[in-house]
Amino acid sequence: MGDDKMPQVTVMKSEGSLPASDISTMHTGTVLLLAALAAMGALATNIILPSFPSMARDLGVSIGQLSGTLSSFFLVFGLGQLVVGPLSDRFGRQRLVVSGLAIFMLGSIVCALADSLPALIAGRSIQALGVCATAVLSRAIARDLYDGEELARALSLTMVAMAAAPGFSPLIGGILSDALGWRALFIIIATVGLALALIYSMRLGETHLPDRRSPLSVGAVFRSYIALINDRRLMSPALAVSLVIGALYAFFSMAPAILLTGFGLSSLQFGVFFATTVVIVFTSGLIAPRVANRWGQMTATRIGLVVALVASVLMLLGPTNFKFFCFALSIFLLGMGLFNPLGTAIALHPFGKQAGAASALLGFMQMGCAALAITCGNLLPLPPYTVLGVVLLTALATAFLCFLTAK
């Protein structure tokens, strides 16, 4: 990226997309905005990870008990998407995005004022209820605007930008928490939510045109989801993507125990560690469209999945020291960064008119797999490092088998 510009994304004018004349000046800005919407959930989660020791001390709980703030977040996050997706297909994207960010801000304030673990979990659940809208609708908006290779490229570039949120947020969170305290983090991310709502309303607005909207009824929504669940074009790649995402969030959940407690990193070193992962995901996201263009989307996606699977084997069977952990994790992130955007594009491509519902179902599956992976990790009576290896290998092997049936 020597010229500091992202590759140009061509906006498709088919299937009800906005006219090219309306979007011709947006390309890079639109992708960055979609990435910011998609990354809010990861930002809200990862920015507080370095603060777990101080949060546990202030609330009188253990670091392990704080994992409840993650599993509850993912549960509400996943279920909420099932409602938001069909609502956006009927009423459009803009109202759902803005109202979701408002709810997210409310939840952040509740977290900032929490004086007990149940209150913190309640605030995190409210956050999840709001931010689930931005996650599911970032993908639906991308499907509104782009198609085919352009959709894959947009999602790849979104993944690149999204890497900055989970990568840099622990570093930022550690610095801000040391300076201002962990409660200030929630006020800061509430402010970010407000800024994002204003930018979205002024720059992008509505992308799901009235003539593309679907009728809304409980029966219609139920039938729509049943049809999607029975459609292998969606379910095979979506389940594989969801398992890989679940493995990634399992790492986020176990990282404080592995890095802060096990390897003895400071909160600043913990943040720096996460920041370095951005380079890997950034590189992988940039090469994903090029690999897909050269060898085909399906082949490129399989390559990424195999790379991540190999990394999970190394994590479980290799030595348990910090250097090897960094090596195995780097390989996993490289494969994950290649697989996820391409796998997501494959899953969503056939469902232009049902982009909201398809994206919602994909989001629900991702958060369901994340919650399942975290719960299983907490239940296994093994050291955190070993638990992570078991969870990664199980998730990646299952994802590989699922993707074998993808069309």
Where do the domains of the chain lie? 31-206+217-403
- Distance of alpha carbon 56 from alpha carbon 58, whole angstroms: 6
Q: Say what the pLDDT of residue 23 is.
A: 37
Please name the amino acid found at residue 267: S
Q: Say what the pLDDT of residue 210 is.
A: 61
**With b meaning 16 or more CB within 10 Å and e meaning fewer, what string describes 143-159?**
bbbbbebbbbbbbbbbb
Planar angle of CA 360, 364, 365, nearest 5 degrees: 120
Contact yes or no for 168/277 (Cβ under 8 A): no
Q: Say what the pLDDT of residue 164 is.
A: 63
Whose structure tokens read 């409602």?
A: 83
- Distance of alpha carbon 212 from alpha carbon 189, whole angstroms: 34
**Which CATH number among 3.40.50.2300, 1.10.3720.10, 2.130.10.10, 1.20.1250.20 corresponds to the domain 31-206+217-403?**
1.20.1250.20
- Evaluated on CA atoms 134, 136, 141, 147, the torsion sign reads positive
Longest distance between any two alpha carbons in the chain, whole Å: 58
Give backbone dihedrals phi and psi of 61, rounded to 5 degrees, phi first.
Answer: -130, 175
Q: 345: closest CA among 85, 158, 207?
A: 158
Q: Say what the pLDDT of residue 295 is.
A: 87
- Distance of alpha carbon 260 from alpha carbon 255, whole angstroms: 8
Contact yes or no for 241/348 (Cβ under 8 A): no
Q: 48: closest CA among 278, 270, 282, 336?
A: 270
Q: Say what the pLDDT of residue 13 is.
A: 38
- Distance of alpha carbon 235 from alpha carbon 246, whole angstroms: 16
* Element housing 18 (H / E): none
- Distance of alpha carbon 290 from alpha carbon 153, whole angstroms: 9
**With b meaning 16 or more CB within 10 Å and e meaning fewer, what string describes 166-200?**
bbbbbbbbbebbeeeebbebbbbbbebbeebbeeb
Residue spans of the chain under pLDDT 70: 1-27, 147-149, 152, 156-166, 207-218, 352-353, 355-356, 407
* Element housing 50 (H / E): none
Residues near 356 by beta carbon (within 8 Å), at least 6 away in sequence: 84, 85, 86, 87, 88, 89, 93, 136, 137, 140, 208
Q: Which two tokens stand for residue 336?
A: 């994950």
